[in-house]
Structure 1
Amino acid sequence: MTLTPHAPLPAASNWVLRFASLIAAGGSVLDYACGSGRHARWLAAQGWRVEAVDRDPAALQALQGVAGVSTLALDLEDEHWPLGGRSYDGLVVTNYLYRPRFDDMLALLAPGGVLIYETFMTGNERFGKPSRPDFLLQPNELLERLRGDWTLIAFEQGEVQGARPAVLQRVCAVKGQAAPRLPAPRQP
């Protein structure tokens, strides 16, 4: 029998790596729509308690036995909100957008909790998928959604080059009013 090697997991997002240190040390983090779990693995390895949520049980299976990671197979787009009453110190969302649950998702952060969000925006359709407007943020949309009781730490939007060019929007914000604090530069 010949074993087929698994494809390596993609590296964690540099945006997540840059701002994760703002999450309370040892705190609880929700990796929302976690997919392959690249961020859940990295966050747990750094000492956070991670709950990885995705609707794909096969993707979550790969996270079984990873120290510091618990998994939940949930449909985050179901009409019944499955995460009510939960609270986290950090919320990581990458490559995912479902507007009808955006406010419910933000409500999962405890006061002082850190939101790290990165996904595709309008303009990405010229590079491939996602290309449907439902899956693409509008210019400044994350900023607009965080008006009110949020402290903005960093925001970016625009075209990025690399192995796979894309048009992205990224934000890091703290729930509530806080003194803005940038993370120390990461060492290579």
Structure 2
Amino acid sequence: MADDARGTPLPWIVQWAGLVSSHATVLDLAAGRGRHALFLAGRGHKVVAIDRDISRLPAHSNIEPLAADLEDGSPWPLPERRFGAVVVTNYLHRPLMPALIEAIAPGGVLLYQTFMVGNERFGKPSRPEFLLNDGELLELVRGAFSVTAYEARLISDPMAMVQRIAARRLP
């Protein structure tokens, strides 16, 4: 995939995007400049891309931008919507976790990658509230999801400690 001004999608998302049903609507949480929203829209998915600043999101007929500050204490902005997949990368706000899990429809997929404890050796984020604890993503989905893939490891480009999961919500 050619690199554009938005950046290429993370390899973990590309690798496991095939788990997402072809007709699924995807939620891209904390979408940033929209690299994953654009990638998934290009695969034919409708994508709801949430971020505080939606001005950085690409204009695309399959992308529905939604401006929301996910950390200001406001209620979850999509309480009645369920998605065939939720994608989260390089973002952690633990108070959102219950709503995030609830937003995934039965049979839907969670694709999540973010930094974990140990990353403080490599730079930011380094504060504990922004770093997953060992096994935290597994605990998040325990009993409600079937885990397809999980890693907690050092990656080299860029050097970071990450935790990532691809899991399907049980019916």
TM-score range, shorter chain: over 0.9
**8 Å CA contact 2:54, 2:65 repeated in 1:** no
Offset, 1:78: 3.2
* Residue from 170, 179, 182 that aligns with 2:164: 170
Offset, 1:26: 2.5
Quote the residue 1:14 is aligned against: 11
* Aligned mates of 1:120, 1:109 — CA distance in 2: 22
1:72 equivalent in alignment to 2:69: no
* Residue from 91, 96, 102 that aligns with 1:96: 91
Offset, 1:101: 1.2
Runs (4+) off by over 3 Å: none
Query: TM-score w.r.t. structure 1 length?
Result: 0.85
Q: Alpha-carbon deviations, 1:132-183, whole Å to 9, x = none?
A: 1000000111001111121010000111112x20000000000115xxxxxx
Quote the residue 1:159 is aligned against: 154
User: The residue matched to 2:134 in structure 1 has which SS?
Assistant: coil
Identity across the alignment (%): 45
Written as runs of structure 1 = structure 2, the 5 A alignment for 1:84-123 is 84-123=79-118
Q: Alpha-carbon deviations, 1:78-101, whole Å to 9, x = none?
A: 322212111100100000000011
**8 Å CA contact 2:27, 2:86 repeated in 1:** yes
Quote the residue 1:59 is aligned against: 56
Q: Aligned-pair RMSD on alpha carbons? A: 1.2
Quote the residue 1:28 is aligned against: 25
* Aligned mates of 1:142, 1:90 — CA distance in 2: 16
Q: Pick the structure with greater CA Rg.
A: 1
* Aligned mates of 1:76, 1:56 — CA distance in 2: 11
* Residue from 69, 76, 81 that aligns with 1:81: 76
